[in-house]
Amino acid sequence: MTRRRISWTLLAVLVLAQICYPLTTGATRAGLTVATVVLGWLLSVGHALLSRGPRAAAALVAVATGGGFAIEAVGVATGVPFGSYDYSGELGPKLAGVPLIIPLAWTWMAWPAWLAAVRLTGGWSTAGRRVRRIALAALGLAAWDLFLDPQMVAEGYWTWRDATPALPGLPGIPVSNYLGWLLFAVLLMSALRPLAGPTAEHTDQRDHPMIALYLWTYLSSILAHAVFLDLPASALWGAAGMSVTAVPLAVTLLRARRARDTHRVDRQAHRPGVDATR
C-alpha cells in the first residue's frame, strides 16, 4: 500500500464515521464522536509523518496535541482564554478536567488548515507569505469551531457557566470562546512552521487527502447542521467563517485543474501526426 493510499483510506473511514453520526444517538453517538476524533488525529499525524517525515509529525503533535491539552487545561481551571466551562464525562477519561480526545481534535484540523493556507499563499513573497499563511491557517482552524462548539454543546459534551454575550442564534456559547480559539490558533500556526521545518512550506499532490479533508469538513458540516442536526444558525455562521479559506481554496483547485486540462490538450494537439485544426 502506497503512502498516499494510506491517507486516502483513513480519510474514507473518517468520512464513513461522520456520515453515521447523525444516524446515532446517546452513548453510541458519543462513542462515535470519540472514534471520529481518533481517526482524524491518526489521519493528520500519519499524513505529516508519511509526507514530511518525523520532524513535521513531532512538531504537529507538540504544538497541536500538547499545546491543545495545555490551553484546554488552563481554560478549564481559570476560564482563560475561552471563558468558564466544564466537560461532561461522555467523551472518555479526563486529565486535569480535560477529556483526552480534546487535544486530538485540535491536531486533526490544524494540519489540513495549515496545508490549505500553504496552498493559497504559495505565490507571495517570503515575508508576506508567512504572515498571510499564519493568518489564513489560524482563521481556517478557528472558524471550524463555529460548527464544532454548537454541535457539542447541543449534545451536552460540555457546558458554559456564563454564555454571554453570545453570537445571534448560538446561545450557550460566549463570544470569548471563539476569540480564544483564534488566539490559540495564531500561536499554534506561528509555532508550527519553524518546528516542522521547511518542508511544511510547500504543498504538492501528496497533500490532496488533507485538502479534501478540509473541503469535506466545510461542505459536510453545512449540510449536517442545516439538515440533520437542526442547527441552522451554526450552519450559517460556520459556512461564513470557513468560507474565508474554503471558497478560495476550491476556486484555486478548479483553476489548477482547468490549467492542467488545457495544457494536456495543447500537448496532444502538437504531437507529431496530430491535426490541430480538427
Q: Nearest-CA neighbor of 178 among 254, 249, 242, 114? A: 242
For the stretch 42-57, pLDDT in tens is 999 999 999 999 999 9
Grouping H, G, I as helix, E, B as strand and the rest as coil, residue 58 is helix
- For the whole model, what pTM was predicted? 0.93
Q: Are 39 and 14 in contact (CB under 8 A)?
A: yes
For the stretch 213-271, pLDDT in tens is 999 999 999 999 999 999 999 999 999 999 999 999 999 999 988 887 776 666 666 66
Taking the CA atoms of residue 110, residue 244, residue 177 and residue 230 in that order, the dihedral angle to the nearest 10 degrees is -100
In this prediction, residues 21-36 reach a mean pLDDT of 95
Q: Are 156 and 90 in contact (CB under 8 A)?
A: yes
Taking the CA atoms of residue 39, residue 42, residue 43 and residue 47 in that order, the dihedral angle to the nearest 10 degrees is 180
Q: How far apart are CA 165 and CA 102, in angstroms?
A: 24
Question: What residue ranges do the domains of the chain occupy?
Answer: 3-245
Q: What does the DSSP assignment read for 215-266?
A: HHHHHHHHHIIIIISS-HHHHHHHHHHHHHHHHHHHHHHHHHHHHHHHHHHH
Q: Are 158 and 88 in contact (CB under 8 A)?
A: yes
For the stretch 99-157, pLDDT in tens is 999 999 999 999 999 999 999 998 666 788 889 999 999 999 999 999 999 999 999 99
